[in-house]
Structure 1
Amino acid sequence: MFDRTSLLSGAAVGAVPVAVLYVDGFWDPWLAFFVWISWTVVGLLFFRSDLRASRSRWQLLYILLIVGGAQFGVHTNLPIPSSLTIALGFLVLGVGTASLLVGVQIGRENASSASGPTAATTD
């Protein structure tokens, strides 16, 4: 399934935002769990995908949609405590990035299966 490097990097990347939330003084176990899950998926898939070596337009799209959308949607003027704002920002960034990387992985698998031997289909 995943190699050892992907598993270790996923665990490390997933632990960083949770540690930042803990040091910052915010601790909601369920929210921390979902932040950890989303960022672990990011770590697992980022070290398996080719997003790092992709064209600059895809990286620009990532910055505009994921990072810009997270900062626009979860900002400091919301009527919630600032520690919750930071936690929700981590969650939105993690879920957005994980969704992007899952799409990249699906696209890579579809491209590799389309270029392989084709089977006869019955319509």
Structure 2
Amino acid sequence: MYMKFGFVFSQTDSSPMYQQIMEQIKQRIAVGDWPANTDLPSIRELAIDIKVSVITVKRAYLELEREGVIVTQQGRGSRVSDALNMRSLQREEMIQHLEQAGRLAKSLGLPDDKVMQILKQYLE
């Protein structure tokens, strides 16, 4: 299925849809896909594309605005904030990936020292 914005949601994720939307937007910003001042899709456009209610997308945008990730101007829409602390957002993104890696390592039964050894390989 083609989606204009390419958002992918997990049916097994227990977090609310608005939080999943927020995380995907933050991820796009953190990796540089959506740099400062990039216009975001309109609330209605994104809701139609990802097949959720306008209210859900609106809540995600309101929370992102409250966090300072995006700015919204009446009649002009939302865009990535140019005052955003990119390093903080990138750090948050890295921590989420490390948390996922940690959970996976635990489920595989890998000892901590083996996990650290693997991580060190990628840091060198």
Q: TM-score, normalised by structure 2?
A: 0.29
**Greater relative contact order, per chain length (Cα 8 Å cut-off, separation 6+):** 1
Q: TM-score, normalised by structure 1?
A: 0.29
**Structure that is richer in helix per residue:** 1
**Structure that is richer in strand per residue:** 2
